[in-house]
């Protein structure tokens, strides 16, 4: 993961972080919806696993 942006929680306490991920020579942006009180933000350098909807 390259970055973590837009971490301000909404009125329900849910953050909608935007994260840029490098996949090979491409960079894709994903949105990570999470409650920071129970699930921490992703951190730059952290590895994430991408799965298809079928998985």
For residue 20, the tally of other CB atoms under 10 A from its CB is 14
pLDDT single digits (tens) 30-55:
999 999 999 988 887 888 888 888 87
In terms of pTM, does the model score above 0.95? no
Identify whether the C-beta of residue 43 lies closer than 8 Å to the C-beta of residue 19: no
Q: How far apart are the first and last CA of the chain?
A: 21
Got the DSSP string for the chain? ----B-----TTSEEEEEEEEEETTEEEEEEEEEETTTSPPP-TT-------TT-
| Token pair recorded at residue 18 | 């935007």
């Amino acid at each position: 993961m390259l970055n973590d942006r837009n971490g301000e929680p909404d009125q329900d306490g849910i953050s909608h972080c935007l994260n840029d991920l490098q996949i090979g020579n491409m960079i894709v942006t994903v949105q990570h919806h999470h409650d920071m009180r129970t699930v921490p933000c992703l951190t730059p350098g952290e590895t994430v696993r991408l799965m298809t909807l079928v998985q």
